[in-house]
Amino acid sequence: MYLFSIVAREDFISIVMDAYQVGMEDNEVQEGSYFREITPDQSFYIFEGPAEFGELGWKIAAQMSSDGADLKDIALSIQQKWQESGQEAEMEAVIGGMSATGEIQYHLISNENITSYFPKAGESLYYANDLSFKLSPMEELSRTLMMRGMSTVSQAQSAQFDLFDKFAGSRPGVSSFAQCLVIEKAE
């Protein structure tokens, strides 16, 4: 597992993740976790779990995106395929970015459910994966965002990089170098 965090507002979404996973070729995918941009600078896919289900989700996302499907429909299709397989291993994926109509959103997909987030004007939403971590990255991100603010990309990333610095050494396989992706609404 690798660490990632998301901060979303109505005008941007910021993702900070383990740089080891960014830009990996298909044949280099590490068992259990990876990141891909679905549409560059517009949408992304993050996966944690058995590699074959990560690849299945990625193929669904890539195909449906090229067919013009919205992110929520992609998330629903991925979860449906997981459920049809009967796989009981713990899996998590996040599909997010900006819709064709310019709406910032992200969708957390697990074996059992999908939780969708659409930040409204003035609202800040955030998520940090906390599967298998002894400490809670979500609690730490919340605390840091409350102290530093989260109304700008710079404030959000400051808290996200602090979170990454704190947790990077706590789990084998997490690199000490973070990478970020920011998707912003055009003004």
Residue written as token pair 């808290």:
159
Per-residue pLDDT at 156: 92
Q: Contact at 8 Å (CB) between 94 and 109? A: yes
Tokens of 18: 């383990």
For residue 22, how many other CB atoms are within 10 A of its CB? 19
Q: Within 10 Å of residue 108's Cβ, how many Cβ atoms?
A: 19
pLDDT tens, 160-177?
A: 888 888 776 555 555 567
* Alpha-carbon torsion, ordered 88, 3, 75, 146, to 10 deg: 120
As given in the structure block, the two tokens for residue 128 are 């940090």
Confidence label for 186 from pLDDT (cuts 50, 70 and 90): confident
pTM of the predicted structure, to 2 decimals: 0.85
User: Among 49-63, 134-148, 169-183, which stretch is predicted with the lowest mean pLDDT?
Assistant: 169-183
Q: Sorting pLDDT into bands at 50, 70 and 90, what band is 140?
A: confident
Domain positions in the chain are 4-184
Q: How far apart are the first and last CA of the chain?
A: 36
The one-letter amino acid at 78: I
- Sign, Cα dihedral of 81, 84, 86, 92: positive
Q: Which tokens belong to 185?
A: 């609404």
Tell whether the model's pLDDT for residue 26 goes beyond 90: no
pLDDT digit string, tens, across residues 60-104:
999 999 999 999 999 999 999 988 988 777 788 999 999 988 999
42 with 55: CB under 8 angstroms? no
CATH 3.40.50.2300 fits 4-184, yes or no: no
